[in-house]
Amino acid sequence: MTSTSILLVNCPDRKGLVAAIANFLVRYNANILHADQHQDAESGTFLMRVEWDSRQFDLPPDAFESAFAPLAQSFNMTWQLSHRNIKPRMAIFVSRYDHCLADLLYRYQAGELHCEIPVIISNHPDTEWLANCYKIPFLYIPVERDSKAEAEAAQLETLRNLHIDFIVLARYMQVLSPDFIRHYPNRIINIHHSFLPAFHGAKPYHRAYERGVKLIGATSHYVTEILDDGPIIEQDVVRISHRDDLDDLIRRGADLEKIVLSRAVRLHIEHRVLLYANKTVVFD
C-alpha cells in the first residue's frame, strides 16, 4: 500500500510509550496497519516503527511536527516521519564490477524497489552500457590519487543538484573521504564481500581462501568514517568446501553480494531500519 505513513521512534525506554504513540495516532483517525517495537535492556533504549493508512488520517503532513512535538519532548524522542507515496531518490556508485548494479536495476525496473534513480556515477566507463539499457543517466567521474578531492566535489555537486536522498555503493572500489560521508550520514549503503567483522578491508575472498574457511558471506552496512565498521543492515552466508578454488569463492560470493545489497536497499527504502549505538534494529 503506497498511501501509508511511517513513524520511526528512538528514545529512552519508559512505561506507556506504545500506548502514548498509539493514542496520539488514533486521536487523528489513524488506521494502524503495522506496529513493531524493540526494547534494548542493556542500553535502556526503545525503538518503534508504526505504519498507518494515511487516506483518512485527519492530521495534514505539514501539521504533524507541531502536533507531535509535545509528546516527543515528554519522552525525549528522536523521530522521523515518512510517506510511502513519496519515492526516495537513490544514486548508485559503481566501479567495474557490474553484478550488483545489474541486480539493482532489474529489481528497480520490476517494481521491487520503490524509489527513483536519477543517476549512476562511476569512476570507470565500463558500466555505461548497462545504465543505457535502463535509460538511466550515467556520469563518468575519474578518481585519481592526486585529484580525489576534486572528484568528490563534482560528485557532491551532482548529488545536490539532483536532490539525492541516499547513495548505494554497488561495488564502488573507492574509499570515501570523511568529508564526503558527513554530507550523507547514515544514508550511504555499502556492500562488503565478507561476513563482517571477518576479513574487512581489501581482498577478503583471497584471505578467506588462504584461511580455509567453510563459510563465506556478504554484508551490507551504512558507511561511516571507519572503514567497514558501520551499522550492519543485512548479511548472508553460503557454505563452501575444500573443493572450491579462489574463482569459485569469488563467483559464489558475487551471487550473495547482489542479494544482500538489494535486501538492504529495500529495507532502507521501506523505512524498516533504526540505528542506535552503531547497530541497527531491522523490522521486517
Number of domains in the chain: 2
Residue 16 and residue 6: Cα distance in Å, rounded? 20
pLDDT at residue 101, rounded to an integer: 98
Mean pLDDT of 112-136: 98
What pLDDT score does 18 carry? 97
- Do 161 and 263 fall within a single domain? yes
Domain end, chosen from 67, 83, 99, is at 83
- Residue 116's DSSP bridge partners are 89
Handedness of CA 79, 279, 114, 184 (dihedral sign): positive
If asked whether residues 142 and 157 sit together in one domain, one would say yes
Phi, psi of 56 (to 5 degrees): -115, 15
| Boundary-marking domain end, from 54, 83, 112 | 83
Check pLDDT > 80 for residue 110. Answer: yes
What pLDDT, on the 0 to 100 scale, is given for residue 247? 87
Q: For 132-174, how does the pLDDT look when each residue is reduced to its tens digit (9 = 90+)?
A: 999 999 999 999 989 999 999 999 999 999 999 999 999 999 9
Same domain for 114 and 231?
Answer: yes
Instruction: Render pLDDT for 228-264 as a digit per residue (tens, 0 to 9).
Output: 889 999 999 989 888 888 888 888 889 999 999 999 9
Q: What is the mean pLDDT of residues 83-106?
A: 96
Burial class (CB in 10 A: 0-12, 13-18, 19+), 83: middle
Polymer length of the chain: 284
Tell me the percentage of the chain whose pLDDT exceeds 90. 81
The residues carrying an active-site annotation are 228
Contact 37, 66 (CB under 8 A): no
How confident is the model at residue 152, as a pLDDT? 98
Give the closest residue to 258 by CA, choosing from 171, 195, 175: 171
Torsion angle of the four alpha carbons 193, 194, 199, 200, in this order, in degrees rounded to the nearest 10: 60
Answer yes or no: do 174 and 48 share one domain. no
Alpha carbons 203 and 249: distance in angstroms, whole number: 12
Please report the pLDDT score of residue 193 as a whole number. 80
* Cis bond before residue 197 (omega within 30° of 0): yes
pLDDT of amino acid 117: 98
Tell me what pLDDT residue 199 has: 67
Residue 78 pLDDT class (50, 70, 90 cuts): very high
Ordered DSSP codes for 160-182: HHTT--EEEESS--SPPPHHHHH
Average pLDDT, the chain: 94
- Tell me what pLDDT residue 246 has: 87
pLDDT tens per residue across span 35-66: 999 999 999 999 999 999 999 999 999 999 99
Domain shared by 58 and 100, yes or no: no
| pLDDT for 74 beyond 80 | yes
Residue 128: Cβ-neighbour burial (10 angstroms; 0-12, 13-18, 19+): middle
Q: How many CB atoms neighbour CB 186 within 10 A?
A: 16
Question: What is each CA distance from 156 to 21, 147, 167, 216, in whole angstroms?
Answer: 37, 14, 11, 34
Considering the domain architecture, whether residues 73 and 101 belong to the same structural domain is answered as: no
What pLDDT score does 240 carry?
Answer: 85
Amino acid occupying residue 224: T
Above 60 in pLDDT, residue 1? no
Residues 245, 125: one domain?
yes
Instruction: Give the CA distances from residue 14 to residues 49, 199, 254, in Å, rounded to whole numbers and listed in that order.
Output: 16, 39, 44
SS (H, E, C) 204-252: HHHHHHHHCCCEEEEEEEECCCCCCCCCEEEEEEEECCCCCCHHHHHHH
Residue 258 in 3-state DSSP?
helix
What percent of the chain is modeled with pLDDT above 70? 97
Q: What pLDDT, on a 0 to 100 scale, did the predictor assign at position 59?
A: 95
- Range(s) of the domain holding residue 56: 4-83
pLDDT on residue 209: 77
Contacts of 69 (CB under 8 A, 6+ apart): none
203-234 tens-digit pLDDT = 877 787 788 888 888 999 999 999 888 999 99
CATH number at residue 117: 3.40.50.170
72 lies in the same domain as 206: no
Mean pLDDT across 18-33: 97
